[in-house]
A and B are shown apart, each in its own frame.
Chain A
Amino acid sequence: MNCRECVEHLYEFLDRELTPDVEREIREHLEDCPPCGEQFDFEELFLKFLRARCRAEGAPPELKKRVLRELFGE
C-alpha cells in the first residue's frame, strides 16, 4: 500500500470501518512511514478532542420529568 491509498482510508481506519485485511495493510504501512503516522495521529487526536468537547451536555432533568409526565401521567 502506498501513501495515497493509505491516506484515502484514513477516516475509515480511525472509525473502525475497514475489513481486518485492509486494516492490517494500513498498520503495516504506518509502521514504515512516519509522515503518514503523524497525520493519522493528528486526525485521531482531533476526533478524540471533538468527542470530549461535545458529550458533556445531557438532557436537562426537567425534560425527563416532562416526558414521564406526558407518557405516564406522572
Chain B
Amino acid sequence: MAKPPPPPPLPPPVPSPVDEKRVGFEREALVHLDVLYRVALRLTGNPSDADDLVQETMLKAYRAWDQYEKGTNAKAWLLTILRHAFINEYRRKTRHPETVDLDAIEPFAVFPEVQDEDPQGAFFDRIVDDEVLRAIDKLPEAFRETLVLSDVEGMSYQEIAGILEIPVGTVKSRLFRARHLLQAKLYDYAVEMGYIKGSPA
C-alpha cells in the first residue's frame, strides 16, 4: 500500500504587529543604549539623571517609532529626542542656566607651547579617564555637546548640525573652540601635575 503523502509543512507563524515593532526597535534603537547613556551623562552631569533621561528618551522613541523612517539614521534620531527631553525636562533641574558668552572665549593653542618639549603630546597619555571627563564637564554646554557628539561618538558635522539644530558652520567653529579649550584645561592640569614643564609664565 502506498504511503500517505507527508503532511504539508506548517506555514511560518505570522508575527504580530507588536512583535514586529519590538524586534525592529530592539535591532535599530536599543543597540544605541551605550551612546545615549554616554551623551546623557555628559549633559546631565550625574548617573542617576542620565539613567532617567535615557529611560525617558527610549519611551518617547518607542511611542514615536512609527514616525521613524526605518533603516535611516536611528542614532541621530534618538539623540535628537534625547536632547529635546534634556532641554525640556532636565536642564533647569540639573544645571544652572548658563550665561557664558561663547564668543568671548578666546581659544588658546596648546601646540605652540609644547612644540619643543613634547610635540607628540605624550603628556596627554598620562592623564586618566576621570580627569578627561571632568575637564569635558567643565566646558560650556554648547561646546560640550558638540565635542561629545563629534569626538566621543564620531558623528559627522551634518549629523551634529541636525541634532543640535545649528548650521554646519557653527558646528565647525564650536568644535574648534571646544577642542582648544579642552586642550588648554588638560595642558594646565598636566603642568600642575608635573607631567610637562610648560613654558614659564
A20 at the interface (CB under 8 A from B): no
B85 at the interface (CB under 8 A from A): no
Contacts of A1 in B (CB 8 A): none
- With an 8 Å Cβ cutoff, the count of chain A residues facing the other chain is 30
B75 at the interface (CB under 8 A from A): no
User: Within the complex, what minimum Cβ distance (angstroms) separates A9 from chain B?
Assistant: 10
Let me know if B124 and A71 touch, CB within 8 A. no
B67 at the interface (CB under 8 A from A): no
User: Within the complex, what minimum Cβ distance (angstroms) separates A54 from chain B?
Assistant: 4
A17 at the interface (CB under 8 A from B): yes
Count A-B pairs with CB separation below 8 Å: 97
B129 at the interface (CB under 8 A from A): yes
Closest chain A residue to B148, Cβ basis: A54
Interface class of chain B by DSSP: helix
Let me know if A70 and B55 touch, CB within 8 A. yes
User: Within the complex, what minimum Cβ distance (angstroms) separates A60 from chain B?
Assistant: 7
Let me know if A51 and B51 touch, CB within 8 A. no
User: Within the complex, what minimum Cβ distance (angstroms) separates B121 from chain A?
Assistant: 5
User: Within the complex, what minimum Cβ distance (angstroms) separates A57 from chain B?
Assistant: 6
B157 at the interface (CB under 8 A from A): yes
Interface class of chain A by DSSP: helix
Contacts known (A12-B172, A71-B59); A17 close to B157, Cβ less than 8 A: yes
- Interface 0/1 of A35-74, CB less than 8 Å to B: 0001101110111011101111111100110110011100
B22 at the interface (CB under 8 A from A): yes
* A58 in complex: contacting residue of B34, B120, B136, B182, CB < 8 Å: B34
Contacts of B163 in A (CB 8 A): none
Bound complex: CA A46 to CA B121 (Å): 7
Could you list 13 A-B pairs, sorted by A, with CB under 8 Å? A11-B176, A12-B172, A39-B111, A42-B111, A42-B121, A45-B120, A46-B183, A47-B179, A49-B124, A49-B125, A51-B152, A63-B51, A67-B30
What would 17 more interface pairs be, CB under 8 Å, given A63-B37, A71-B22, A71-B25? A17-B157, A38-B119, A43-B179, A45-B120, A46-B183, A53-B127, A53-B128, A54-B129, A57-B34, A57-B37, A57-B41, A58-B38, A59-B33, A59-B54, A63-B51, A67-B54, A70-B58
